[in-house]
């Protein structure tokens, strides 16, 4: 895949790591973000739609057209959540989903960064609650719809934002200087009736992708399946759902959709897992 080739170049070559160090500087990332939110960037939209084969019929185009590339990237579409399927978890977004058992000492490989469960959450006590549980990792591609939702009814107990990290690792034994990156993450701890306490996490893109979660009332607060939670600005993005042990089973109808990497294609609002 082209995205993987780019990441291998950025992380696996001296030139790529040099460029990576430049691009992830806050002022460079911010400048690119300003451009993608400006009128000058609107001309990129037709090329992007053609390159990623985005169906115009699936896009709500404003009467005056898109005001910027990010205006297009955060576009809306009609998403249907089924209120009659309260025993199901409905997909919070479009993308490619992996169903992962959280084994002891598991390492998640997300956006070219390896995380232990504790690294991912930055909370040892909380991570212990999901040992031997289940993770649903949904990878959004450039052609996907980048708004996301709550997939189940529940009460949000707390919210946390983990700022991204960038620094160089300089082991003496290495000839090159690898760049260590951990992407910005946000997650909510949600109490549900069918699945117990779960976590929904958003992981931002490496360069200019931003997480925009909508502000709610003071915690705790109640949410419904199908309530829009936020959106990503430009860049590849990932959503992770964590469940405690024996809390959830994958919808068996999805198995036939797996790609060569074992990922399953899902759409926002689709029933993807059931409470045990």
* pLDDT at residue 206, as a whole number: 60
Residue 166 resides in a domain: yes
Could you tell me if residue 219 is inside a domain? yes
Consecutive sets of 10 residues in the chain, 276 residues long: mean pLDDT of each? 57 71 67 85 90 80 87 82 77 94 87 82 93 94 90 94 61 44 85 95 73 84 93 84 94 86 92 89
The two structure tokens encoding residue 199: 């976590």
Cα 158 to Cα 140: distance, rounded to the nearest angstrom: 25
The answer to whether 271 and 82 have CB atoms below 8 angstroms apart is yes
Expressed in percent and rounded to 5, the helix, strand and coil fractions of the chain are 25, 35, 40
First CA to last CA across the chain, in angstroms? 36
Q: Do 240 and 135 touch, CB atoms closer than 8 A?
A: yes
> Distance (Å, rounded) from C-alpha 61 to C-alpha 56?
8
Cα–Cα dist 171/175, whole Å = 9
Q: Are 238 and 111 in contact (CB under 8 A)?
A: yes
Q: Is residue 92 part of a domain?
A: yes
Domain with 141 in it: 82-275
pLDDT value for 142: 84
Residue 29 lies in a domain: no
Domain count, the chain: 1
Is there a domain that residue 12 lies in? no
CA distances to 175, 218, 249, 275 from 195, rounded to whole Å, are: 48, 23, 10, 6
Q: Is the residue at 201 inside a domain?
A: yes
Helix 14-23 / helix 2-12 crossing angle, nearest 10 deg: 100
Residue 22 is assigned to a structural domain of this protein:
no
Catalytic site positions: 94, 237
- Contacts of 31 by beta carbon, 8 Å cutoff, 6+ apart: none
Residue 174 forms part of a structural domain = yes
């Amino acid at each position: 895949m082209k995205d993987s080739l780019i990441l291998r170049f950025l992380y696996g070559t001296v030139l790529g790591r040099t460029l990576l160090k430049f691009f992830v500087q806050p002022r460079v990332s911010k400048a690119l973000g300003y451009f993608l939110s400006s009128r000058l960037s609107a001309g990129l939209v037709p090329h992007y739609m053609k390159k990623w084969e985005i169906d115009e019929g699936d896009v709500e185009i404003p009467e005056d057209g898109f005001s910027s590339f990010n205006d297009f990237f955060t576009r809306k579409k009609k998403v249907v959540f089924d209120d009659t399927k309260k025993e199901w978890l409905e997909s919070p977004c479009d993308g490619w989903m992996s169903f992962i058992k959280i084994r002891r000492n598991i390492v998640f490989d997300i956006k070219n960064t390896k995380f232990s469960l504790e690294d991912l959450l930055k909370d040892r006590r909380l991570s212990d609650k999901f040992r031997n549980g289940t993770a649903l990792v949904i990878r959004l591609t450039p052609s996907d719809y980048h708004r996301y939702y709550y997939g189940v009814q529940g009460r949000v107990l707390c919210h946390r934002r983990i700022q991204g990290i960038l620094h160089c690792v300089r082991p003496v034994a290495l000839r090159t200087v690898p760049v260590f990156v951990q992407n910005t993450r946000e997650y909510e701890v949600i109490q549900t009736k069918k699945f117990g306490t779960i976590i929904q996490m958003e992981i931002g893109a490496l360069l200019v992708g931003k997480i925009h979660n909508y502000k709610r009332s003071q915690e705790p607060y109640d949410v419904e399946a199908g309530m829009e939670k936020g959106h990503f600005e430009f860049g590849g993005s990932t959503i992770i759902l964590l469940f405690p042990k024996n809390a959830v089973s994958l919808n068996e109808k999805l198995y036939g959709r797996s790609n060569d990497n074992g990922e399953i294609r899902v759409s926002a609002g689709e029933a993807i897992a059931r409470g045990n």
